[in-house]
Amino acid sequence: MVKIYYYKEDDSPMTAPHDSGEPVAAEELEKLGVFYKYIDSQASVDNLATERQYKNRDYITLDGATFPGGEEALNAKLDVFFNEHIHEDEEIRYIIDGTGYFDVRDNNDRWVRTLVEKYDLLILPAGIYHRFTLTDDKFVKALRLFKDEPKWVALNRIDGNTESNEFRKEYFASLS
């Protein structure tokens, strides 16, 4: 079951829960433009993809035991996913197996952490600051849906040019 809460900064690894003990309601995520749904059949996912005109998809498996290049390569990949960033596209992820954490910034720039598990679908709007990591189980298999051609460009906040991005501005304007 999905679990949503404010992230607590501490010295534990990114894959640790970082649970502040302060829950966040699903409606609060909605206000940030994040869509969450529990979907327990592949057919329903296919329907949603058709309805929303998601034309492309692929599968990603992040698993220390099978990742090409091994655990070290997986950790390098996780560091990339955990670097705070935005996209010019929605990020749509459906968890087929395993677990992971999606962190999104709220209106006050606090991290909201969502623990996703099997059958959880999460859609992050274009322009929202976010990051991803595995849990301590270090395993996830997910379906990635795309409206058009897969776009992989992540614009990292640390680079300092994200605030002037058109998609960021549009997202920011959509919050009220």
Kindly list the residues in this chain that would bind Ni ion in the complex (CB under 5 A): 91
> 168: which DSSP letter?
H
On whether the CB atoms of residues 128 and 170 are closer than 8 A, the answer is no
- Decide which of ligand KMT, Ni ion, none touches 45; Cβ closer than 5 to 8 Å per partner kind: none
For residues 146 and 144, give the distance between their C-alpha atoms in angstroms, rounded to a whole number.
7
Q: Binding segment for ligand KMT among 17-25, 33-41, 106-114, 137-145 (CB under 6 A)?
A: 137-145
User: Which residue, 22 or 72, has its beta carbon nearer to ligand KMT?
Assistant: 72
Fill in the per-residue mask, 105 to 134: x = in contact with ligand KMT (CB under 6 A), - = not in contact. ---------------------------x--
Half-sphere exposure of 165 (CA within 13 A, CB side): 23
CA distance 54 to 145: 6
* Strand ranges inside 84-164, DSSP E: 85-86, 91-105, 111-117, 120-124, 130-134, 139-146, 155-156
Give the shortest CB-176-to-ligand KMT separation in angstroms: 27
Contact by Cβ (8 Å): 7, 20 = yes
Does 93 bind ligand KMT (CB under 6 A)? Our answer is yes
Cross-strand bridge partners of residue 57: 145
User: Does 81 contact ligand KMT by CB under 6 A?
Assistant: yes
* Partner interacting with residue 175 (select from Ni ion, ligand KMT, none; CB below 5-8 Å by kind): none
Under the binding rule (CB under 6 A), the answer on residue 100 touching ligand KMT is yes
From the list 140, 157, 168, 171, which residue makes contact with ligand KMT (rule: CB under 6 A)? 140
- Residue that is written with structure tokens 């949503």 in the block: 4
Residues lying near ligand KMT in the complex (CB under 6 A) are found at 60, 81, 91, 93, 100, 132, 140, 142, 144
